[in-house]
Amino acid sequence: MPVGRVGRRRLRFWAGRLVHMALVVLGIAVVNFFLLHLAPGDAAQVLAGEAGSATPEYMAALRRQFGLDQPLPVQFVQYLGNLLTFNLGFSFRHGLPVLELIGQRLPATLLLMTASIGFAVLAGSALGVVAARNAGRLADTLISTLALLFYATPVFWIGLVLVVVFSVGLDWLPVGGMTSVEAGYGGWDHVKDVARHLVLPAATLGLFYLAIYTRLMRAAMLEVTTQDFVRTAVAKGLRPRRIALRHVLRNALLPVVTMLGVQVGSILGGAVLVETIFAWPGLGRLAFEALFQRDLNLLLGILLCSSAVVVVVNLAVDLLYTVLDPRIELAR
């Protein structure tokens, strides 16, 4: 196929993917809007209750101030108009623009997610390879048992155990937070301080997914080793190490990459619990607070941002597919 034609096909494909991404995010935003507004209660009730003036007149004044007294279709049209200009409104609770609050908290969540996913994928894949290379032996049994243990244990319990052991018992790592505020670290010391605070929440979130990737990589490695192209590589006399790395591992990574794209959403959901346990100042903790405070503008902004992160990661997964197996792009 001519190079120019391949380039045009590739351009059309990725342009279509970008349009599809935008439509998916928009659809999620619409569904979230109606689901949250159909739930009972609003920010006016919460603020009036805290002020001790939960009279009908006071709550009506708050609803007028926040625009909550308008019919739902009118609020929806205003919400869509604001989305087109990237205006997510103001937080009722914090009195700040939602985009500003998200900008303050998003880096912490992305850091936690990256560390957790990186730890889970790298360690899980390595353990899966070791288990597959030693199938039926002691190492395989130990790794499979450990993976099953982490998979069956609730995330919050893993977090509590890690805190008791490494923070309370051994006093090696801080209990929570993102930095030691009173220390006033700067530069490289600040980086090391954040890394120390990151270990426990990242391990708590990552151990569950490590178990999944370990079992998935083990199964994928064992399946790929039975394929004809591996037998052909062995018949050609290629070194076992080259066969394992270039042929077996590369193809076994495809289901791992697939699972990574699928699980980004659940990892974001798990971040809500982990950030609450460890007082990690991310979007998950902010969403938890916004939910109970009925801060709908903030909650809608966080859900929209989370949806965009999931969609972008899945686009990156599609790109990674073409790197691991170029035939996938040609087939498209």
Secondary structure class of 97 (helix, strand, coil): strand
Mean pLDDT of the chain: 80
**Residue 269, in any domain of the structure:** yes
Does any domain span residue 33?
A: no
Lowest mean pLDDT among 211-215, 280-284, 294-298: 294-298
What would you report as the CA-atom Rg of the chain, rounded to the nearest whole angstrom?
Answer: 24
Give me the pLDDT at residue 61, please: 74
Where residue 119 falls among pLDDT bands split at 50, 70, 90? Answer: very high
228 part of a folded domain: yes
Q: Rounded distance, CA 212 to CA 151, Å?
A: 7
Q: Is 166 exposed, middle or buried (0-12, 13-18, 19+ CB in 10 A)?
A: middle
pLDDT at 327: 55
Give the C-alpha separation, 287 to 304, whole Å: 12
CB 279 within 8 A of CB 198: no
pLDDT of 49 higher than 90 = no
Angle value at C-alpha 199, between 260 and 103, nearest 5 degrees = 70
Q: Which of 299, 303, 300, 278 is nearest to 289 (CA)?
A: 299
Contact 106, 308 (CB under 8 A): no
At residue 1, the pLDDT reads 47
Q: What Cα–Cα distance (Å) separates residue 270 from each residue in 120, 141, 297? A: 14, 28, 22
The residues, any chain, with a CB within 8 Å of residue 235's CB and separated by 6 or more, are none
Asked, for residue 289, whether it belongs to a domain, the answer is: yes
Over residues 127-133, the mean pLDDT reads 87
Q: Which residue has the tokens 């303050």?
A: 104
Kindly report the CATH number assigned to the domain that includes residue 200: 1.10.3720.10
Q: Which residue has the higher pLDDT, 2 or 31?
A: 31
Q: What's the burial of 21, exposed, middle or buried (CB within 10 Å: 0-12/13-18/19+)?
A: middle
- Report yes or no on whether pTM surpasses 0.85: no
Q: Which region among 29-33, 111-115, 196-200, 252-256 has the lowest average model confidence (pLDDT)?
A: 252-256
Residue span of the structural domain in which 262 resides? 105-326
Q: Per the domain annotation, does 182 fall within a domain?
A: yes
Task: Of 40-54, 135-149, 161-175, 270-284, give the lowest mean pLDDT range.
Answer: 40-54
The rounded distance, in Å, linking the Cα atoms of 247 and 269 is 35
Q: Is residue 99 part of a domain?
A: no
What is the per-residue pLDDT across 247-273, written as a single tens digit (0 to 9) for each? 677 777 777 877 877 778 788 888 888
Q: Is residue 52 part of a domain?
A: no
| Total number of domains constituting the chain | 1
Q: For residue 209, tell me if it sits in a domain.
A: yes
Residues constituting the chain: 332
Q: What is the pLDDT of residues 91-117, one digit of tens each?
A: 887 888 888 899 989 899 999 988 998
